[in-house]
Amino acid sequence: MTCDENLGDGYSVGPLRIVGRAVLAPLSGVTDLGFRRVARRFGAALVVSEMVASDDYVLGAAEARLRAEGEGVAPHVVQLAGCEPGWMAEAARLAEASGASVIDINMGCPAKRVTGGHAGSALMRDLDLATRLIEAVRGAVSVPVTVKMRLGWDHAHLNAPELARRAEAAGVAAVTIHGRTRQQFYKGNADWRAIAEVTRAVAIPVVANGDIGSTDDARRCLAASEATAVMVGRAAVGRPWLVGRIAAELAGRSYAEPTLAEKGEAAVEHYETLLSLFGRDAGVRHARKHLAAYADAATEDGGGLKPADRLRLVTTDDPATARALIRQAFAARPELRAAA
Ligand SMILES: Cc1cc2nc3c(=O)[nH]c(=O)nc-3n(C[C@H](O)[C@H](O)[C@H](O)COP(=O)(O)O)c2cc1C
């Protein structure tokens, strides 16, 4: 049975039918256009842009525009951050006009520079403002609106069910819950069971997130959270194909892991996209963390580089050298394993 024929394998975000139940998380500085293209091509059900500051985006800041870029990605989800309904509505309008098929609102970011401006997870401390933001965005666009949040600000205030209820009443099409509080940042374990409080509070799809690194994790998370789908973040860094694997295995489809060489070509494609998106110099700099992650993933898969070559990969300014080293990393290298 193919994914499309299996009606159980997917969910709806408003009028959009999402095929598959594993979604790539928004990761600032990571889920750039190149990363999202590769993840989607390998079968991620949905991919989400990095958080885009609504005011910067409206004012035309180059970085914000690049983060919201979605050429070649469908459906294209743009995540907006902010705490002013006016900026958020304008940014949403602009994103829709630029091709966004879903607007996601960030109510989960714990960073002080974001919460200090009362955006991100700080909105979970002011549900009236959070609701006004949602209503402003909903009123500004005709595409579906979703919200990503945490369990609450801290364990004394686990108000995700209440925020999700308000979001649903305001017409939000789906919510994602990262199973930690803001005060936990990324410490401790994600509490998948606590997400079930949200699942039971609303009828819209709930996407569960936090600490999912395999299909087995995804299954356990879905059972504990009673959620519709899972979202995978950090485990996909250096492995954009992982989300597609989880989506396929959750659907019970037979899954052929891409070969090392196919992964290498995907990493090269990602690298090329960064160079054309940011321009050569900024692209080379932006790519470095990805190249380090790809080299590590390749090592785990039976490829990898000698330490001196790995260093060259993550420091070179020369795209031809980088391309050659990526391909070298994703070649089977039994001699490296034997030496390890
Ligand atoms: C480097 C990094 C950047 C992130 N950027 C965003 C972001 O832009 N928007 C957002 O909603 N969440 C962001 N998150 C949170 C992730 O989307 C996700 O909720 C969190 O990492 C837990 O999922 P995971 O355990 O699968 O990584 C970020 C997390 C990390 C580690």
Tens-of-pLDDT digits for all 340 residues of the chain?
Answer: 333 444 458 999 999 999 999 999 999 999 999 999 999 999 999 999 999 999 999 999 999 999 999 999 999 999 999 999 999 999 999 999 999 999 999 999 998 888 788 889 999 999 999 999 999 999 999 999 999 999 999 999 999 999 999 999 999 999 999 999 999 999 999 999 999 999 999 999 999 999 999 999 999 999 999 999 999 999 999 999 999 999 999 999 988 999 999 999 999 999 999 999 999 999 999 999 999 999 999 999 999 999 999 999 999 999 999 999 999 999 987 666 555 5
Q: Is the pTM of this model over 0.85?
A: yes
263 CB contacts (<8 Å, ≥6 apart)? 241, 297, 298, 301, 330
Q: Angle 307-315/319-329 helices, nearest 10 degrees?
A: 140
Q: How is domain 10-250 classified at the CATH fold level?
A: TIM Barrel (3.20.20)
Q: In angstroms, rounded to a whole number, what is the distance separating the alpha carbons of residues 65 and 60?
A: 7
> Which 8-state DSSP code applies to residue 101?
S
Pairing of strands 16-19, 10-13: antiparallel
Ligand 1 pocket check for 197: Cβ under 6 Å: no
What does the CA dihedral 166, 167, 169, 174 come to, rounded to 10 degrees? -140
Question: What's the pLDDT at 7?
Answer: 43
Question: What's the pLDDT at 6?
Answer: 43
**Residue tagged 């391309």 (tokens):** 323
Find the 170 Cα to ligand 1 centroid distance in Å.
25
Ligand 1 pocket check for 202: Cβ under 6 Å: no
> Which 8-state DSSP code applies to residue 4?
T
Site to probe by mutation for ligand 1, drawn from 27, 113, 177, 192 as the one with most ligand atoms within 8 Å of Cβ, is: 27
Taking the CA of residue 120 as reference, the ligand 1 atom at the shortest distance is 11
Ligand 1 pocket check for 108: Cβ under 6 Å: yes
Find the 150 Cα to ligand 1 centroid distance in Å.
11
Find the 154 Cα to ligand 1 centroid distance in Å.
18
Which residue is closest in CA terms to ligand 1's atom 14?
A: 27
